[in-house]
Structure 1
Amino acid sequence: MTEIKSKHESKTMWVVLLTAITMVVEIVFGLTTKSMALLADGIHMGSHVLAIGLSWVAYVIVRKVSRSEKFKGNSDKILSLSGYSSGLMLLIFAIVILIEAIQRFYNPEDIVYKEAILVAIIGLVVNIASAFLLHHDHKHSDHNIRAAYLHVIADALTSLSAILGLIAAMIWDIPFMDTIAATISSFVIVKWSIGLLKDSGKVLLDIEHEHHHGHSH
């Protein structure tokens, strides 16, 4: 068990806590301001809490397992499995935003702009803080920390596009700007999640052996 992995473990734990608190705030405000955008953002944050939570659990399992005598497998596989599952969640999450956005085109909602923007900004700040927490050098990267990092960045991206979309919608009174922003984010997230699935899937299927340079225990 390297100290890098345990550093990753405590970082992911903090991010889970931060994200979970923000998610609750966004959902509560989403309900009170009747802002669909915020509510959606809060629910999406929920999927990230689950995914990043999964990354954290994976580190805990690796730590426990590497102490156990019975486990003879490659503990890095656990991290890749967690990264893979996380990538799958990201993909589903992006597709859900797309479907939501398409429905919004047909029935636009009235949004309480100012409060929605304010809370979206808080969300963005939390995501940026989390991204700094999870930032890691490529040398020490594994699919697990990368998955958690991607979730946070994806979240920051949707918060940012929600803010820009909401501001544009408010200034020019074009509600569908918000929708267009969400659609663009979705496509970016789809691209990232597929990349993550490909990379972590290769490890799970033992396709890339030369990549396992993390075995200096």
Structure 2
Amino acid sequence: MAHSHSHAPADANARRLLLAFIVTAVFMLVEVAGGIISGSLALLADAGHMLTDAAALLFALLAVWFARQPPSAHRTFGWLRLTTLAAFVNALALVLITVWIIWEALQRFYHPQPVAGLTMMVIAIAGLLANLLAFWLLHRGSEEKNLNVRAAALHVLGDLLGSVGAIAAALVIMLTGWTPVDPILSVLVSALVLRSAWRLLKESVNELLEGAPSTFDIGALKRHLRRAIPEVRDVHHVHVWLVGEKPLMTLHVQVIPPRDHDKLLAEIQHFLTHHYQIEHSTVQMEYQLCKGPDCTLGESQPDHHH
């Protein structure tokens, strides 16, 4: 298949993603070291949140790189599914890290630990500046409307809340000496991390199981396709799944015998691309009504069209 578009936007997005990943990963390590030195569990929790950001940036960067790799006879879809496998492993790791932080926070409620408020404040401010820098780098790529860049920018924007919270907790400790604010904040930040990790785990498992995208309505697609193209009488055996971020589809279509088979096929594929952003579809056209048990897949009730 020939490609007429330029790689310049993809190269620019890749550079922004790489720079933002480096900034986020470096300051994640700084927060880990700062959390250990200061004794702040909130900084360690925020470092866990930054780990979700670094992972999101890395997956976005890998998706850009893998999308350029040509498929082979052994890997007909290339390496795109590798990002999904990495996301699954990362989500499991994040869940374990979050459980450990919450457990440690509960222990600190019963056995308070000293926290170096000034050190915590310095590290938290540095983390906030790192998030601002990463967000600025990614926001510059928003003109291309790239899904990976926008998603990564939202991750980083969400992490700003954790950094602001760590600064507030450091102020409370410095002014009042009340250290329980540190484990309280760590539990709140861990809840944000757990929410992101759980969503990532669900999405990666769904993709590994070749499930349909959560927002995809097969029944609506069937009805829409029949209304849009008069020659289409019935749509069945619809299967849709994701490889990387790319949706793929196979479907059987019962049609009125056309005068121009290729023209009708092109019209159906154009419909899928234009309305559902499915650029890779395999369409089998048939002239007889489907009578098998899978003919109503995706419909709440049997879908008959006369």
TM-score, normalization by structure 2: 0.55
Moved more, 129-138 or 175-184: 129-138
Is 1:141 aligned to residue 143 of structure 2?
no
Q: Alignment partner of 2:76: what SS? A: coil
Question: Which residue does 2:187 correspond to in 1?
Answer: 183
Q: Using the alignment, how far apart are the partners of 1:85 and 1:183 within structure 2?
A: 23
Question: Which residue does 1:197 correspond to in 2?
Answer: 201
Question: Which residue does 1:164 correspond to in 2?
Answer: 168
Q: Which amino acid aligns with 1:164?
A: A
Judging by fraction of residues, say which structure has more helix: 1
Show structure 1 runs of 4+ deviating over 6 A: none
Q: Which amino acid aligns with 1:72?
A: T
Mapped contact 1:35–1:111 kept (Cα < 8 A): yes
Q: Using the alignment, how far apart are the partners of 2:143 and 2:206 within structure 1?
A: 21
Aligned residue pair count: 211
Alpha carbon RMSD of aligned pairs, Å?
3.7
CA separation of 1:157 and 1:99: change in aligned 2, threshold 3 A = farther
Q: Using the alignment, how far apart are the partners of 1:138 and 1:210 within structure 2?
A: 25
Q: Using the alignment, how far apart are the partners of 1:138 and 1:106 within structure 2?
A: 51
Q: Which amino acid aligns with 1:102?
A: L
1:103-122 alignment runs, 5 A limit: 103-122=107-126
Question: Which residue does 2:24 correspond to in 1?
Answer: 19
Q: Using the alignment, how far apart are the partners of 2:66 and 2:109 within structure 1?
A: 44
Q: Using the alignment, how far apart are the partners of 1:85 and 1:139 within structure 2?
A: 28
Q: Which runs of 5+ in 1 are unaligned?
A: none
Q: Identity over aligned residues, as a percent?
A: 23
Q: Could you give the per-residue CA deviations for residues 101-147 of structure 1, whole angstroms, max 9, x where no partner exists?
A: 122212222222123102211112212322343455896325x974x
Is 1:61 aligned to residue 66 of structure 2?
yes
Mapped contact 2:169–2:181 kept (Cα < 8 A): yes
CA separation of 1:194 and 1:134: change in aligned 2, threshold 3 A = farther
Q: Using the alignment, how far apart are the partners of 1:166 and 1:106 within structure 2?
A: 20
CA separation of 1:7 and 1:87: change in aligned 2, threshold 3 A = farther
Higher relative contact order structure (alpha carbons within 8 Å, sequence separation ≥ 6): 1
Mapped contact 1:27–1:38 kept (Cα < 8 A): no
Moved more, 185-194 or 153-162: 153-162
Is 1:9 aligned to residue 19 of structure 2?
no
Larger gyration radius, structure 1 or structure 2: 2
TM-score, normalization by structure 1: 0.73
